[in-house]
Structures are given as structure tokens and as C-alpha cells.
A = this chain, B = another copy of it.
Amino acid sequence: MSAKSRSVGAPAKGPEPLRRSKEAVKAASLAAAYELLTEAGLSGVSFDEVSRRSGVAKTTIYRYWPTRSALLFDAVMQFAPRLQTPNTGSLRGDLTALALGLAQRLQTGRWSSAMPSIIDAAERDKEVAEFQSRTHAGMMSGFSAIAARAQARGELGANFDVSELTAAIAGPLFYRRWFSRQELDDAFVRGVVERALGWDSSGHG
């Protein structure tokens, strides 16, 4: 879809070789790799297939990424989502907005299709595991920011653990998306947030 202007149909005959620039070629390769990752999983990403899809010659891809891991790494980095941190003025409002945004991405994004492959790879590869948890922490940093603001406003006690709050909210959403495969509607998301709030900041949150 994105950058597949070149058809491989005409082998050294048609009058349209249509070469692309260095940057265009890199971008096309990464896009195809990520596309493949979401469609066919980690093992579905091969140099041959990336070449076929992007229209970039295999040898050219090898020029920029010597191994499959390098290519995949760059692809994932480039397309990793960043949740933007809302600022509504209250802890409850911020968390609800953040959770709804996360649920949105879980349901529609290509990212949520690629994620299980990465989790799977992390299970058996220490480097991938470290990369994954770091990337993941970055993606969830919104929770820390929100909690810090709430703490400054005095909405949260001192003996409070952001990572528990994150797990309490992100956990159920992830669970529904990948494990129980149930609906992730707004009512559920709001319920999750309410439950997570109803523990430390009892009254209003």
C-alpha cells in the first residue's frame, strides 16, 4: 500500500526501472518488514519476502541491514507507538483518557498485531527481552507522568506504587485483547479505571 510503486513484473525489459533514492528505499524496506511482521509474525519476515513486497532488491536490503534482527529492530523502533499523556486536571480524568486511548490502539492499531510476535521472541532471546521491556516502559510512561501530577496535587498517598497502578489498568485491557479475546468497549475500560482508583484514593481520586 504505502510504498509499492514498483511492480516486479517486467524483468529487464519494460522501460520503467524506476529507481528510488537511498532514503526511499530504506523507508520502503522498513515498512514492508513491519507489514510482514503484523501479517505473518516474526518468522514470516524474510529478506526474500521483504524484497518482493517493497520492490527493493534483496542485495540492496543486505547493504543496509546485515542480519534479519537488525532489520526487524529498526522496523519495530520506527513504528512503535507513543501514547500521548492527557492532562485533564484530575487523576480520574487523566487515567480514563489514557486508558481509552490505549484501548483504541489495542483494537485498531497494527501495533497490537505485531506485539505478540515480539513477546514471543522475548521469551527466548535475552536481548529481545531487554529491548521489549525498555520499549514497553517508554510506552507506559504516561502513567508515571499522570501519577506524578496527581501526587503534586495531593491526590495520592506517599506509599503508592505507579507500577501497580499501571498493571491494574493496562493488565485487564491487554488480557481482553489477547487472552480472553473479549470485547473492549468503553464501559469495560471505565470500569477498570474505577476499580484501580478505588483503592488508594478512596473518595474522589
- Establish whether residues B116 and A181, one from each chain, have CB atoms under 8 Å apart when the complex forms: no
Q: How many copies does the complex hold?
A: 2
Q: How far is the CA of A181 from the CA of B40 in the complex (A)?
A: 25
Of residues 150 to 201 in A, which have CB atoms within 8 Å of B's CB atoms? 163-164, 166-168, 170-176, 178-182, 188, 191-192, 194-196, 198-199
- Establish whether residues A132 and B181, one from each chain, have CB atoms under 8 Å apart when the complex forms: yes
- Establish whether residues A136 and B180, one from each chain, have CB atoms under 8 Å apart when the complex forms: yes
A163: nearest chain-B partner, CB-CB: B182
Given contacts A43-B43, A119-B116, A123-B113, contact A176 B180 (CB under 8 A): no
A74 beta carbon closer than 8 Å to chain B: no
Question: Shortest distance in angstroms between A34's beta carbon and chain B's nearest beta carbon?
Answer: 15
Could you list 7 examples of A-B contacts with CB < 8 Å?
A: A119-B120, A119-B178, A122-B178, A122-B181, A163-B180, A164-B192, A195-B199
